[in-house]
Structure 1
Amino acid sequence: MSVTKTKADAKPATKKKSPAREWFDSILFAVVAATLIRWLFMEAFTIPTPSMENSLLVGDFLFVSKLHYGTRTTSTPLQVPLTHQKIWGTNIPSYSDAIRLPMYRLPGFTHVKNGDVVVFNVPPKYLNDNIDYPVDLKTNYIKRCIGIPGDVIEIRRQDVYVNGKLFPRPPQAEHEYFVKTSQVMDEAFFRRYNIVNDFRDPSNPTYNWQPLEEYNDSTKSSVQVGYRINTTEQVANQFKSFDWVKSVEPIMDKPGEQAPGIYGSPVYNWNRDNFGPLTIPKEGATVQLNEKTIVLYGPVIEKYEGNENVEVTPTSVKIDGKPITSYTFKQDYYFMMGDNRHNSLDSRFWGFVPADHIVGKAVFVWMSIDPNPDGFFNKIRWSRLFRIID
């Protein structure tokens, strides 16, 4: 009896993968999938500083949409997946400069709007460990967009005006207040109102409440008179209703008083509470250059417009050795501020955010862990889980 083998019968059996190979393939697939999701659609971030309190708290974990404003292509393709600047737990750079590509933005379904909470790569070199990182690898910051391209922004006695109209304060925005009291208040009291000091980093502690003392000439000693607190307007108004609170006054810089480190100094007498008016650069807009405008737009022309051989002095701007008296901007810019207005390093100090530095729109908090919990069981802030960011 003869047996005829079919083509299927003649095919050799597929070699079974080893457990190690199966693990490798699974991990490779997971890394590729996570990298694509992180680049194209959404990325997870955490809030490390109090600059957005009380809208966002230290320990909030949030998702940021890349689709809203359009995903950027990377300028550094030679990069360890799922890293940013350094390889985890080391000081070893996670990327190579051997290949640098031009960066483009894919179409999004909206644009940055006034009031959006935005993640961006912070522009100044000194906020990036004084390292000249590629744009998409600069340190990530999160702030609220106050001004969009072409807007004129101004701050008058802490109130923000955009194009002459009052910009509404975020409901949970914080400012500094002096609370004059006849009683001593402790940490437990302030915690009830979400006013908590953070000493996790001893070299840079965050004081949201501090006792203030006044020297008494008659007794030749210091006497506590009240507290400096950082809180919302709503909580400050609550304090006013307490019998033992004599007064609650906002702590505010005076108009016309120049503060060191403010953008536009020393030409303009601006401070954190009184700033502008300032026109935000817009693609295609032209500005005349003189001593008043060079201090505002000279750094933009030099650092963020892709110009080479730029020389900026307080009185002149040269490109390729040729003096220019006007300049037309090549891209849009934005003005960002933290909701914690007296504890935020933002555009009032370092200027504009270029359009190519925009990462995405913060959409919701998926987890929140209190770094200074009042007991183990209060570690997770349950009320903040899956909170939409507005």
Structure 2
Amino acid sequence: MAGYFAIFLVLLTLASGLVWLLDALVLAPKRQQRLVLAQSSAGGDLPANVSEQLVKEPQLVETAKSIFPVIALITIFRSFIYEPFQIPSGSMMPTLLVGDFILVEKFSYDVKDPVWRKTLYSNNKPQRGDVAVFKYPEQPTVDYIKRVIGLPGDRVIYRNKQLFIEKACNGDNAASCGKLEMVALQLKNEGEFYQEQYAQRRYTEQLGTVAHDILQTPARREHTEFFFKQHGTAIDEFVVPDGHYFVLGDNRDNSRDGRFWGFVPEHNMVGKAVFIWMSFEFNEDPNSWLPGWIPTGVRFDRLGAIH
């Protein structure tokens, strides 16, 4: 949906801009010529209301000139700087909740045009621990948000709800690569969140220098039979191809992520989620007369940077 809206904004910007340009180069001079001819025919004494009518802009031109600057600024801001998104599911709990409205920094990674998504400027690469928005590989018109776990060349294992990473060997981490390391977890609490009737455990997970919270549901087994099958690896092992990334949801037992469909091509990356600018609570009681889409409160304590 976000992709279609981006195309709509670009088309509206182009259309209003072209109408403005056509008026400036063709229509406005013609209106001025009609005014000069009318003044000449009237001996230079033309009523003011008639003069105004002759040079008056058509309604379409007036509308285009009024909306073009605003639409152009919105298109530029949304396409290349920050884009707003709403969190529709609980797959990134507790980091992001349903009802959170976030800003995604578009220039964190490669800057792309909003229609064909061709790279206009190569910037930074996604980093381990980033909360990234990307085009879902199985349906590129849909935007997904997950956390970057594996970088190109990494070997990632998710076994018995524990994450292991063997970093790829390159110039940046030559000293620490080639060894499978368990990602540290520290239990914070249990029972703050539930998946169906099952209590979840909240851990702080340490991905290098990035500390963030995740949820696990001990009572739910891992559905390894549905995991993405990569040739030459174990069912719970993933070797990240060059130019791709491996992502997971922070709500580990309630997220359809890279474990089930594979890897995110670098081209699919949209940007890095950096800020929660609004967070609404919604009524979850199925017996309530209030529709579920109507906010019942604002979670001001959630506003701020995303980690």
What's the TM-score bracket when you normalise by the shorter of the two chains?
A: 0.5 to 0.7
SS in 1 for 2:112: coil
Among 240, 255, 258, the residue aligned to 1:280: 240
| Superposed displacement of residue 140, structure 1 | 0.1
Deviation by residue 1:319-374 (Cα, 9 ceiling, x = unmatched): xxxxxxxxxxxxx0000000000000000000010011000000100001112379
In structure 2, the residue matched to 1:89 is: none
Q: CA RMSD in A?
A: 3.4
Tell me the distance in 2 between the aligned counterparts of 1:26 and 1:357.
35
CA distance in 1 between counterparts of 2:152 and 2:111 reads 20
1:69 to 93, 109, 113: 109
CA contact 1:170–1:339 (8 Å) conserved in 2: no
Q: Compute the displacement of 1:122 (Å).
A: 0.5
Following the alignment from structure 1 to structure 2, what is the Cα–Cα distance between the partners of residues 377 and 253? 34
Question: 1:45 and 1:73 mapped to 2: Cα distance?
Answer: 18
The one-letter amino acid paired with 1:60 is D
CA displacement at 1:265 relative to structure 2: 7.7
Corresponding position: 1:152 with 2:63: no
The one of 259, 266, 291 aligned to 2:224: 259
Question: Is 2:128–2:148's contact at 8 Å kept on the other side of the alignment?
Answer: yes
**Greater helix proportion:** 2
Matched, 1:357 2:274: no
Secondary structure in structure 2 of the residue aligned to 1:349 = helix
Query: Which residue in 2 is equivalent to 1:333?
Result: 244
Aligned to 2:82: 42
SS in 2 for 1:64: strand
Q: Does 1:105 align with 2:119?
A: yes
Supply the distance in 1 between the matched residues of 2:112 and 2:88 (Cα, whole angstroms): 24
Q: Is the 8 A contact 1:59 1:369 kept in 2?
A: yes
Deviations along 1:259-318, one digit per CA (max 9) or x if unpaired, are 332111898763xxxx21x22111xxxxxxxxxxxxxxxxxxxxxxxxxxxxxxxxxxxx
SS state at 1:369 partner: strand
Q: 1-side partners of 2:82 and 2:106: how far apart?
A: 5
Q: With structure 1 as the length reference, what TM-score do the two structures score?
A: 0.51
Q: Which runs of 5+ in 2 are unaligned?
A: 1-34, 37-50, 167-179, 205-216
Structure 1 123/170 Cα, relative in aligned 2: closer, same or farther at 3 Å?
Answer: farther
Indicate the percent of aligned positions where both proteins have the same amino acid: 32
Equivalent residues of 1:158, 1:252 under 8 A apart: no
What is the correspondence of 1:43-62 to structure 2 with a 5 Å cutoff?
Answer: 43-62=83-102
Q: Which residue of structure 2 aligns with residue 208 of structure 1?
A: 195
Per the alignment, residue 5 of structure 2 pairs with none
Give the Cα–Cα distance (whole angstroms) in 2 for the partners of residues 231 and 46 of structure 1: 25
**Corresponding residue for residue 173 of structure 2:** none
Give the whole-Å Cα distance in 1 for the aligned partners of 2:123 and 2:230: 38
SS class of match (1:30): helix
Counterpart selection for 1:165 from 181, 186, 200: 181
Cα separation, 1, equivalents of 2:300 and 2:249: 24
What is the number of residues matched between the two proteins?
Answer: 225
Distance in 1, Cα, partners of 2:273 & 2:101: 11
Alignment equivalent of 1:139, drawn from 142, 151, 157: 142
Residue 230 (str. 1) matches residue 200 (str. 2): yes
When the two structures are superposed, what TM-score results if normalisation uses the length of structure 2?
Answer: 0.63
Pick the structure with more strand per residue: 2
Aligned-partner residue type, residue 226 of structure 2: G
CA shift for structure 1 position 30: 1.8
Give SS of 1:55's match: coil
Q: Equivalents in 2 of 1:74, 1:377: separation in Å?
A: 31
**Partner of 1:341: helix, strand, or coil?**
coil
- Structure 1 position 21, deviation (Å): 4.6
